[in-house]
Amino acid sequence: MDNLIKKIQGGVCAPHDVLASSLTAGIKESGRPDMAFLKFPVGTNSSGVFTKNLVCAAPVVICREVVQKNKLRGILVNSGNANACTGEKGEKDARLLCSSLADLIDCNSENIAMCSTGIIGVQLPMSKMLSALEHLVSGLSSNNGGPASEAIMTTDTCPKEYAVEVDFPEGKVRIGGMAKGAGMIAPNMATMLAFLTTDANISKDIMDQILVDCVNRTFNAITIDGDTSTNDSVIIASTGSSIEIDSKDSISLFHFALHKVCKQLSLSILRDGEGVSKVVSINVSGANNNSDADSVARSVSESLLVKTAINGELPNWGRILAAAGYSGVKFDPEIFGLAIGDVSVMEGGSPVGGWENALLDVLKEDEYNIDINLGDGEGRATVWTTDLSSDYVRINADYRT
């Protein structure tokens, strides 16, 4: 299906009838852009996946309500302040921003979603944000995907956006997206936000199913530090401006294309991770089922000893076997197989001769695979991880804005 998909420019605004704006409201002490707005036409369908953290921010509560009602007209996003652990006032303030913005674009407040990212436990600077809303509306343009992706950044060092155009027999469909995230990144999402858009005419029921699967295999399959945040949100909006997606073949192609966009955004988060210098794909096969494979992949990917070995370019692959062993999954160590990059280091539970020198070159690479085989089962899973460096500690010890 890859031959039917072409990368295009425009990011979240690449699909037809998606507008965006951004500005500096003064939420961040740095003076960098900190508010963005995405606007959609009447009748836009929406789906969302949100944090599994019991402690969730006020904007997440609002987003869940809006997506469930499924008539999304806009998403207000701010960075620099997570509006999490802010009590009743935090939710009241978020709802006031949504209703004020709804008045400006002539829709109901229940049609406006809001997402926030930044410092936890600090009230929103409401006067600054309320006064910025008119400027956000007046600045809307289909050319503002890039600036919007910059306005949602916190510790990110670069904006993250991706878009594709997909050729269907009936016509073309566009899918775009932007994301932010560099720390508090773990399976079950992270301190990350992702906004996906499409001009496909697709029902909410179908989009709900596709989004959950794509998130599980991308945003929920990356880890930098094993922390799940209070604000994680992935929202997709379908304007319905192009062809209808309802046949088995068209749904399959749309699913494949959306997964591609989600995967690219997910990997861009990993590559820009706090203190990250290496990205590694943990691929597990031969498990009794996919759930077992996923558990092993996550155990290895979140092991601090594995992650520091990746950073130090250490050929200490015993740490990988140990992490797999304490994952809680039953497997036969006498069958265990392990390859790092293109170097096989363990087969049938025993080391393979001559791996030492070849492995040293692989470990110097910026990106490589760790392939684990547990036996003859059909279970498979992939989780992407990173190294853990002293820079990560420095960034998070100093982080405040």
Among the listed residues 44, 86, 117, 191, the single catalytic one is 191
Would you call 223 a catalytic residue per the annotation?
no
Judge whether 175 and 145 are in contact, CB under 8 Å.
no
Active site residues: 191
